[in-house]
């Protein structure tokens, strides 16, 4: 029987689990490791066993026995059924007070269900979002922890020690109880979708309308990365656009098939937003844009019928001025995407009874995760000044930036439409902004139509009450 000498255990040693285990070991924690297929455990020890104190185990029984009580068991397997399968196998082996931590990309509703189930066995279940891909898992991810306060007391110090650090502060926090960790991670991924779509639209505009080649656009992004747009994704865009395909000598971006994948978290974010009634138009358009890119047959059919020849869509622009306008449009659209994402977290928190500190969320996204950016510091400041902020858009810093960039934003969206370049995220973000600031919206007409065809009633601007007009009769108004 193995001695219970590990302070933590981790099962699931594919890319993410392997790197997370190494990160934990490198930070001086003794870690028990396990994988369904033993070869992955052996390979981790063979390749990296000297990086820390690993306790390699072959069976789940041996794994559980190797961890000090109350045990902390991290699960890093494929989300969905595999996670349930691992939990089913683990539960009979654990003792009351043990803490099971799902670090995979679970849907927050699964996390809520699993926590309730494990509570019946006297076990803590902690849904934890881990962002930063395999590199982050190894060198410091951003970690969004849910579950109980009690579980965090034992788990928190370990997770905080392995997370990315900014100014001595860990990019790890107990964001809220229950499924809050996975909910926040889901919205993070949704914002990541919007961020990438906005970057992709900027690239398309600079190339198709601005007339710049990928290498020149790489320079533009590198320059943008020196200013307020500084972020991991902007830097990465510059690197990718500068890359030339070794086989063909073409810009790398030209040899990659233009159909984007979506693993599901973008879709979950949009589905949840619809349930919550939160307009996250940037994230939704980004998700749909990926779907559209994958509809090869429809795209081909449309190309055959509607010309895509460049002459049809030529728009003359001043190149440098256009580059500046696209930068301003990107920044404003990004403010909208984040404002919408934080709005969703606020409403989701209220709906589920989670006390989520939005400023703290921005803080733990400053490093380690895919959407890490300078910009997030401003969001933290905004929530520190006004914790109950109605929308990020109206805080002085962002409002000033949007006011300054709004003409450029309009110009870019109008030019894109004229030039036949699709900008669903830029366009919808601008419409969202205009929708919010408009004195009167055409929703008034929609309410009148609904009352006409379905007697859904309406409210008036000039007096209290609920009203109906006899549309099929004498058009008299009655109050209900």
Interaction site with ligand NBP (CB under 6 A): 12-17, 35-37, 40, 76-79, 82, 85-86, 104-105, 130, 133-134
Whether 205 and 416 have beta carbons less than 8 Å apart is answered as yes
In the complex with ligand NBP, the residue whose CB is nearer, 124 or 188, is 188
In the complex with ligand NBP, the residue whose CB is nearer, 77 or 229, is 77
Ranked by CB distance to ligand NBP, the top (closest) residue is 104
Q: Tell me the closest approach of the beta carbon of residue 55 to ligand NBP, in angstroms.
A: 17
- Grouping H, G, I as helix, E, B as strand and the rest as coil, residue 29 is coil
Q: Tell me the closest approach of the beta carbon of residue 86 to ligand NBP, in angstroms.
A: 5
Give the strand pairing for 99-102 and 124-131: parallel
In the complex with ligand NBP, the residue whose CB is nearer, 83 or 333, is 83
Rounded distance between C-alpha atoms, residue 300 and residue 298, angstroms = 5
The 10 Å Cβ neighbour count of residue 443 is 10
Q: Tell me the closest approach of the beta carbon of residue 171 to ligand NBP, in angstroms.
A: 14
Rounded distance between C-alpha atoms, residue 218 and residue 236, angstroms = 9
Q: Tell me the closest approach of the beta carbon of residue 15 to ligand NBP, in angstroms.
A: 4
Q: Among candidates 412, 413, 393, which has minimal Cα distance to 403?
A: 393
Rounded distance between C-alpha atoms, residue 478 and residue 448, angstroms = 14
Active site residue 160: no
Reply yes or no: is the peptide bond before residue 70 cis, omega within 30 of 0: yes
**Given the residues 62, 116, 120, 185, the one annotated as active site:** 185
Rounded distance between C-alpha atoms, residue 461 and residue 216, angstroms = 54
Q: Tell me the closest approach of the beta carbon of residue 186 to ligand NBP, in angstroms.
A: 11
Rounded distance between C-alpha atoms, residue 92 and residue 115, angstroms = 16
Rounded distance between C-alpha atoms, residue 144 and residue 27, angstroms = 19
Rounded distance between C-alpha atoms, residue 31 and residue 135, angstroms = 19
* Structure tokens belonging to residue 189: 């991924």
Q: Tell me the closest approach of the beta carbon of residue 13 to ligand NBP, in angstroms.
A: 5
In the complex with ligand NBP, the residue whose CB is nearer, 90 or 401, is 90
The conformation of residue 430, written as its DSSP 8-state character, comes to H
Per-position DSSP letters for 252-276, written without gaps between them: HHHHS-S-----SHHHHHHHHHHHH
**Given the residues 68, 134, 160, 192, the one annotated as active site:** 192
Active site residue 439: no
In the complex with ligand NBP, the residue whose CB is nearer, 77 or 198, is 77
- Positive or negative, the CA dihedral 443, 447, 452, 458 is negative
Rounded distance between C-alpha atoms, residue 203 and residue 214, angstroms = 8
Q: Tell me the closest approach of the beta carbon of residue 130 to ligand NBP, in angstroms.
A: 5
In the complex with ligand NBP, the residue whose CB is nearer, 36 or 411, is 36
In the complex with ligand NBP, the residue whose CB is nearer, 17 or 170, is 17
The conformation of residue 470, written as its DSSP 8-state character, comes to -
Q: Could you give the residue numbers annotated as active site? A: 185, 192
């Amino acid at each position: 029987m193995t001695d219970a000498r590990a302070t933590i255990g981790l099962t699931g040693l594919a890319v993410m689990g392997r790197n997370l285990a190494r990160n934990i070991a490198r930070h001086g924690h003794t870690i028990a490791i396990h994988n369904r297929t033993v070869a992955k455990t052996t390979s981790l020890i063979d390749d990296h066993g000297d990086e820390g104190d690993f306790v390699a185990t072959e069976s789940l029984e041996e794994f559980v026995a190797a961890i000090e009580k109350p045990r902390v068991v991290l699960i890093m397997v494929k989300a969905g059924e595999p996670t349930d399968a691992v939990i089913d196998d683990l539960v009979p082996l654990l003792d009351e007070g043990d803490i099971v931590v799902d670090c995979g990309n679970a849907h927050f509703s699964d996390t809520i269900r699993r926590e309730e189930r494990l509570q019946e066995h006297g076990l803590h279940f902690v849904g934890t979002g881990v962002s930063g891909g395999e590199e982050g898992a190894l060198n410091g991810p951003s970690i969004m922890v849910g579950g109980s306060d009690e579980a965090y007391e034992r788990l928190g110090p370990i997770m905080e020690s392995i997370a990315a650090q900014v100014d001595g502060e860990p990019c790890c926090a107990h964001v809220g109880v229950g499924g809050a960790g996975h909910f926040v991670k889901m919205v993070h991924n949704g914002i990541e979708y919007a961020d990438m779509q906005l970057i992709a639209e900027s690239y398309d505009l600079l190339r198709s309308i601005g007339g710049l080649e990928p290498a020149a656009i790489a320079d533009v992004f590198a320059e943008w990365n020196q200013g307020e747009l500084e972020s991991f994704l902007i830097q990465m865009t510059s690197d990718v656009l500068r890359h030339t395909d070794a086989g063909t000598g073409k810009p790398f971006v030209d040899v990659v098939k233009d159909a984007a994948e979506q693993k599901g978290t973008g879709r979950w974010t949009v589905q949840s937003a619809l349930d919550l009634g939160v307009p996250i138009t940037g994230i939704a358009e980004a998700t749909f844009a990926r779907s559209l890119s994958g509809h090869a047959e429809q795209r081909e059919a449309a190309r055959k019928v509607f010309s895509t020849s460049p002459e049809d869509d030529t728009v003359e622009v001043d190149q440098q001025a256009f580059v500046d306008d696209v930068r301003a449009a990107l920044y404003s659209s990004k403010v909208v995407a984040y404002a919408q994402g934080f709005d969703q977290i606020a409403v989701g928190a209220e709906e589920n009874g989670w006390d989520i500190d939005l400023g703290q969320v921005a803080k733990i996204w400053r490093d380690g995760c895919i959407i890490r950016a300078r910009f997030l510091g401003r969001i933290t400041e905004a929530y520190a000044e006004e914790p109950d902020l109605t929308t990020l858009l109206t805080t002085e810093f962002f409002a000033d930036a949007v006011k300054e960039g709004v003409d450029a934003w309009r110009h870019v969206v109008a030019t894109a439409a004229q030039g036949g370049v699709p900008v669903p995220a830029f366009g919808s973000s601008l419409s969202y902004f205009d929708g919010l600031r408009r004195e009167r919206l055409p929703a008034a007409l929609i309410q009148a139509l609904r009352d006409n065809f379905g007697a859904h009633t309406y409210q008036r601007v000039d007096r209290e009450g609920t009203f109906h007009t006899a549309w099929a009769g004498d058009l008299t108004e009655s109050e209900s």
